[in-house]
Amino acid sequence: MSHDFLAEQTEAEGWKAERVLEWAAQQFGVRASIASSFGAEDVVLIDIATRIGAPFPVFTLDTDFLFPETYELIDKIEHRYGITVERLRAKLTPAEQATQLGEALWTRAPDQCCEIRKIEPLKDRLGSASAWITGIRREQSAIRAHARKLEWDAKFGLAKINPLADWTEGEVWAYIRSRAVPYNPLHDRSYPSIGCVHCTRAVLPDEDARAGRWSGFAKTECGLHLTRPANDLQD
C-alpha cells in the first residue's frame, strides 16, 4: 500500500459520501464497482453515484435464494437509474448443491453455503477489479465498528471503499425519503438486514438489527466483510 493511500485514508474520514465516491471515480473509474445487496444503504449509494455522475458498475450476489421483494427491487432500480445490475451466481445450481452436499445445507453448515453462493462468486468478480464500494456502516455491528471510508482489503487484495461508514440509520432513511429512493418493502416489516429467504427473519423490537440473520447460529456475517481491522493496513 502506498503512502499516498495511507494519507488519503486519514483525510477521507472528514469527507462526505459524495466526495468519497468522487475520489473513487477519479482513482479507479469503472475498475471500482458497487457491491449491492439492495439493502437501504446500497440503494442510497446507487442514488448518490448516479447523482454525481459516477458510472460505477453495480453487481449483486444472486444466491438463487433471495426474497421475491429483493428481485422486484433490483428490477425497479435498473429501470429508475437506467443501469444493468450484474448478477453473480454460484458455480453450483441449488439442485447441484443439494445433490452434492445434501438438502438445505444452510441449516447444517451455513458458512459453507455462504462460501459457495457468496464468497466464491465475489472472489471471482473482484479478481478483475481495483476497488469495491460497499454500504457498510460502523453502527451496524461490532465487526463493522472499525470500518474506515478508505481501506485496503487484504482478504481480496484491493481497495475497499465505505462512503457511508459514519452514517446513522436515521441519516440513511432521511436520504431515502427525501429523494423517494426505491427500497425493499421488507424493511417496513421488521427486516433491517435482508439476505436469503432461508437465513433471514424479522427481528423483535428489543433485538439487534442483525439478529434476524442466521438465527440459531453464532453467525451474523456471511464472510464478505470479515477482514483484518481497518487500521491494520501495513501490507
Give the active site residues.
Answer: 222
Number of Cβ atoms within 10 Å of the Cβ of 70: 21
Nearest to 169 by CA among 201, 148, 141: 141
CA-based nearest residue to 208, from 226, 194, 220: 220
- Angle subtended at Cα 29 by Cα 25 and Cα 35, rounded to the nearest 5 degrees: 80
